[in-house]
Amino acid sequence: MNVNEQMAMICPKCFSDTGEYNKLKQDLISQNKIILEISEEQAAANATDYIVVNANNLRYILMNKSSFEILSHDQTKALLAYGNLVLVDLSSFYEYNRTRLVDMLTLIN
């Protein structure tokens, strides 16, 4: 999750303590964040591997293609409503290095 953005993907079942999950969710709601709940399978498949770039009054969501493909129809609609989606195919890079898009772009900056 990019803390400066209004959208957050979180996995309820990835929390061992449901109280902690509920606390986080309420905190995000109080900040008017858009919450996309994802499954354990989606979390394991790096569904959260995206980064948001704001440029020229537009919002771009750079996302790995395989991360996008694991999302549900409703999750995809929410992403498209949030910004312009740019899919990046990192499958070869993943096989070589296992580095996520978010980590790779952080290293570049």
* Torsion angle defined by CA atoms of residues 39, 13, 20 and 103, in that order, rounded to the nearest 10 degrees: -50
pLDDT value, residue 91: 66
Per-residue pLDDT of the chain (109 residues; tens, 9 = 90+): 555 678 889 999 999 999 999 999 999 999 999 999 999 999 988 888 788 888 888 999 988 888 899 999 999 999 999 999 999 876 665 565 566 655 655 544 4
Tokens of 9: 């993907």
d(CA 73, CA 78): 9
Pairing state between β 7-10 and 34-37: parallel
d(CA 10, CA 36): 6
pLDDT value, residue 109: 42
Question: The pTM is what?
Answer: 0.75
d(CA 105, CA 108): 5
